[in-house]
Structure 1
Amino acid sequence: MNKALAIAGAGIALLLVSVVAAQDGAPRDRWTAQEIATIASMQLKEAGPPPADPSNAYEAKPQAAALGRALFHDTRLSGNGKVACASCHDADRQFQDGRKVGQGVGTGKRRTMPVMGAAHAPFLFWDGRKDSLWSQALGPLEDPAEHGANRVMLVRTVAARYPGEYAQAFGPLPELGPLPAAASPVGSASERAAWEALPASTRTAVNRVFANMGKAIAAYERQVRHGESRFDRYAAATVARDGRGQEVLSPAEVRGLRLFLGPGQCATCHNGPLLTDHAFHNTGVPPAQAAQPDRGRAGAVAKLQQDEFNCLGPYSDAGEQDCGELRFLATNDAGQLAAFRTPGLRNVAERAPYMHAGQFSTLEEVLDHYRRSPAAVLGHSELAQAGEKHRERQPIRLSASDLQDLAAFLGTLTGPVVQPK
């Protein structure tokens, strides 16, 4: 009995010493100086506000954001009157839809990406075919699988439903004159013919209103952002050497973080406060359709350069000197074949399924893919494979329990979605 009491007493004493040490600033979890610097760089506060977009002079105007919010939720901006931006970017589903591929008027080919953090990205969509948030917002409106509308119909709707709101944000609507029911430079054959039949001045006026629709939607979307997660609290505690604060993560979650930074090599691409390098990578993800593999970034560069709504286009508010990303775009990089944009990992546990076409249903499947590192069906995977000499990576060697710990850590990245009131 005395021996048992002595052991119990020693345990209590050890616990008290641990608590006192934590209160005195001794960390519970030990990290190297380099690891602490990396963890600090991953805090959400390091992201700051979205960078200013010189191609959108209206992004900070409350009137533009108010109009953008209305447009974002308006189903009349679709061919069947049933699809809005919010149909796929659902606020109750992390501003995405939970489907493998987007479902609008028709069925898309890629997964819906969330809105949060999009204003930080230099290129938008999985393939980066748009270079601003406002230009990105325009694409789905005329896509036959998404909104399925046409440019003239969209502008006529704004002129009829939002003339006052438009004027408050952008000034009076331009003189549009008589417009056909349907016309667009990217529509059906009849819509393209109707577009070409319009006077050049009318086409320019329609394009200006259309571009401003995108700028209004972008002004609203910039206000939708991530809130802090448990990981952010852990990171702050780690930087402050606050052992008690580090208790916000479990031992399994901390092991997952160590794997994320180290053997898992996740932080190679998923780094910074939004857990993305905003770049494009081929990681051997199997195509949704094996017979027709998606070319990814390689198929988007020409579209971006030819887009009249890009940073250098006539409807941009930027000067040529402001468009460095577009001016110095790599156009013949073989590594871009079947490469897709690195998605941010904040709230990732709430955003199944995964990859550009929803190929994986769970995080565990995603992590197992990286552990297996299969060869790419199209192009060349950046992941190192066993026996391969690789300049930048090593084969990923993780156990089943390692994958569980990694998945546990990814769950700590979930925080609230902050929306404008």
Structure 2
Amino acid sequence: MARAIAAVAAVAVTAVAAQAANRANLRDPWSAQEVATLASMRLKEAGPRPADPSNAYEQRAEAAALGRALFTDKRLSRNGEVACASCHAADKQFQDGRQFGEGLGQGKRRTMPVMGAAHAPFLFWDGRKDSLWSQALGPFEDAAEHGGNRVRLARLVQAHYGDSYQAVFGPMPALGKLPDDASPAGTDAERAAWATMTQGSREAVNRVFANMGKAIAAFERKVSYGESRFDRYAEATAAGDARGQEVLSPREVRGLRLFLGKGQCATCHNGPLLTDHAFHNTGVPPIARAVPDRGRADGVRKLLQDEFNCLGPYSDARPEQCGELQFLATDDPGQLAAFRTPGLRNVAERAPYMHAGQFSTLEQVVQHYATSPKAVTGHSELAQPGERHADRQAIRLSAADIQDLAAFLRTLTGPVVQAGPVREPSY
């Protein structure tokens, strides 16, 4: 037995030694620490999407089928012309390519893609939602997006999706006699109508509304990123495959070295989805300097007041499963004008950039970080030239560096993978 164990160990040591020898002969040599970092950035390291304890239905096929139908149903808007898929279009990386999201009106921020969202602890640019299902609810009642109201939405589900709803969530609550239009988040008239409803009626409507979000989340979990050229390069480098490294050009590799090194990009854009899922103020200029966007500072307060958060009455989670929500700080000055770090996968296909589409090209984005302007609101985390900074150094990039870094970012593009096709439902 001892000899067998020793033999296995010897084979393992030999394999590691051979791999190290192969890496020594690579076109692009990397240190052991750099190889480990590259390996940690491979898409496969993301693993399965974490289960959301607040949504007990997210992994059910029937829920995903219902969610896909709701996702593309334009009847769930005030004018019958806006669906989730209007801004999260399957042929546009599940976003819209516009500077601002546009539904019934124009929003104030960029549309974020669906892919990778199931891995994020907080959603939207300001993190005002803490689950995919809760995130899906906000646009339904937003005046600039769907412009709907809770009672009308519940009635639409009852009229058109009764059987599908029951197959997932059980019998629909008895809605009884209700106003045609009522919501705590709607117009003055809709809020007044909501106030006339009994507590039981409000809870029944809220339950249907919450379940709409849970079904949509089940569908969105099935939309994901596919592997990119970068993933193949990282795999080849970790395996000591010299030929496999040829998938990236020398210029793209120079950009990768900048990404990991003096560009300091990996400080926030790390891991398999190339995001730390955190919120940062990096001095991105506001669209309206007179009325700057406060970002996470306002988002965290909205999240804590949201009846559809993890601790709310429509969550399926136990309180101890909502740790992220229970330890949020509301007085952190670093949250002012801080925005969620977007994942960089497929970033080349998602111009314009930043939370309000302030930059139209990747080169402009990189130039912003090289310039490191002071923040109009709050304090930028980026170090200014000549400034003593506790955590960072000033980012110094030449014009050639900026081009190389942008070239690397384009290697992060891969396919968008769907578990099923997204089609307009047949009514």
User: TM above 0.5, one fold?
Assistant: yes
Alpha-carbon distance in structure 2 between the residues aligned to 1:184 and 1:127:
24
Which secondary structure state, in structure 1, belongs to the residue aligned with residue 227 of structure 2? Answer: coil
Aligned to 2:35: 36
1:178 CA displacement: 1.5
Aligned to 1:404: 403
Aligned to 1:181: 180
Aligned to 2:14: none
Matched, 1:363 2:362: yes
Which secondary structure state, in structure 1, belongs to the residue aligned with residue 75 of structure 2? Answer: coil
Q: Any residues of structure 2 matched to 1:10-21 within 5 Å, and which?
A: none
Structure 2 counterpart of 1:247, one-letter code: E
Aligned to 2:252: 253
Aligned to 1:15: none
1:23 CA displacement: 11
**Higher mean C-alpha displacement, 189-198 vs 269-278:** 189-198
Q: Is the 8 A contact 2:311 2:322 kept in 1?
A: yes
Structure 2 counterpart of 1:405, one-letter code: D
Aligned to 1:313: 312
Alpha-carbon distance in structure 2 between the residues aligned to 1:76 and 1:181:
15
After TM superposition, the runs of 4+ consecutive aligned structure 1 residues lying more than 3 A away are: 21-25
Q: Any residues of structure 2 matched to 1:11-410 within 5 Å, and which?
A: 26-410=25-409
Q: Is the 8 A contact 1:23 1:243 kept in 2?
A: no
Q: Is the 8 A contact 1:231 1:412 kept in 2?
A: yes
Structure 1 counterpart of 2:344, one-letter code: L
Identical-residue share of aligned pairs (%): 75
Alpha-carbon distance in structure 2 between the residues aligned to 1:24 and 1:209:
58
Alpha-carbon distance in structure 1 between the residues aligned to 2:38 and 2:419:
29
Superposed CA RMSD: 1.2
Q: Is the 8 A contact 1:22 1:243 kept in 2?
A: no
Q: Is the 8 A contact 1:142 1:151 kept in 2?
A: yes
Gaps spanning 5+ residues in structure 2: where? 1-18, 421-427
Alpha-carbon distance in structure 2 between the residues aligned to 1:330 and 1:118:
23
User: Residue by residue, what CA displacement relative to the aligned partner does 1:238-272 show, whole Å, maximum 9, x if unpaired?
Assistant: 00010000000000000000000000000000000
Which secondary structure state, in structure 1, belongs to the residue aligned with residue 376 of structure 2? Answer: coil
Which secondary structure state, in structure 2, belongs to the residue aligned with residue 360 of structure 1? Answer: coil
Q: Is the 8 A contact 1:259 1:406 kept in 2?
A: yes
Which secondary structure state, in structure 1, belongs to the residue aligned with residue 35 of structure 2? Answer: helix
Structure 1 counterpart of 2:228, one-letter code: S
Q: Is the 8 A contact 1:22 1:242 kept in 2?
A: no
User: Residue by residue, what CA displacement relative to the aligned partner does 1:87-136 show, whole Å, maximum 9, x if unpaired?
Assistant: 00001000000000100001000000000000000000000000000000
Alpha-carbon distance in structure 2 between the residues aligned to 1:125 and 1:321:
24
Which secondary structure state, in structure 1, belongs to the residue aligned with residue 302 of structure 2? Answer: helix
Gaps spanning 5+ residues in structure 1: where? 1-20
User: Residue by residue, what CA displacement relative to the aligned partner does 1:52-81 show, whole Å, maximum 9, x if unpaired?
Assistant: 000000001101000000000000000110
Aligned to 1:17: none
User: Residue by residue, what CA displacement relative to the aligned partner does 1:357-385 show, whole Å, maximum 9, x if unpaired?
Assistant: 00000001100000000000000000000
Q: Is the 8 A contact 1:23 1:244 kept in 2?
A: no
Structure 2 counterpart of 1:141, one-letter code: F
Q: Is the 8 A contact 1:22 1:244 kept in 2?
A: no
Structure 1 counterpart of 2:293, one-letter code: D
1:214 CA displacement: 0.2
Alpha-carbon distance in structure 1 between the residues aligned to 2:300 and 2:58:
25
Alpha-carbon distance in structure 1 between the residues aligned to 2:96 and 2:288:
21
Normalised to the residue count of structure 2, the TM-score between the two structures is: 0.93
Structure 1 counterpart of 2:380, one-letter code: S
1:302 CA displacement: 1.3
Alpha-carbon distance in structure 1 between the residues aligned to 2:371 and 2:104:
37
Structure 1 counterpart of 2:214, one-letter code: K
Alpha-carbon distance in structure 2 between the residues aligned to 1:220 and 1:179:
30
1:22 CA displacement: 13
Alpha-carbon distance in structure 1 between the residues aligned to 2:300 and 2:412:
32
Q: Is the 8 A contact 2:282 2:375 kept in 1?
A: yes
Q: How many correspondences in the alignment?
A: 401
Q: Is the 8 A contact 2:22 2:240 kept in 1?
A: no
1:409 CA displacement: 0.3
1:49 CA displacement: 1.4
1:156 CA displacement: 0.5
Alpha-carbon distance in structure 1 between the residues aligned to 2:324 and 2:383:
29
Alpha-carbon distance in structure 2 between the residues aligned to 1:120 and 1:378:
29
Q: Is the 8 A contact 1:354 1:362 kept in 2?
A: yes
Alpha-carbon distance in structure 1 between the residues aligned to 2:306 and 2:367:
38
Structure 2 counterpart of 1:337, one-letter code: L
User: Residue by residue, what CA displacement relative to the aligned partner does 1:22-53 show, whole Å, maximum 9, x if unpaired?
Assistant: 99663111001111111000000000111000
1:355 CA displacement: 0.3
Normalised to the residue count of structure 1, the TM-score between the two structures is: 0.94
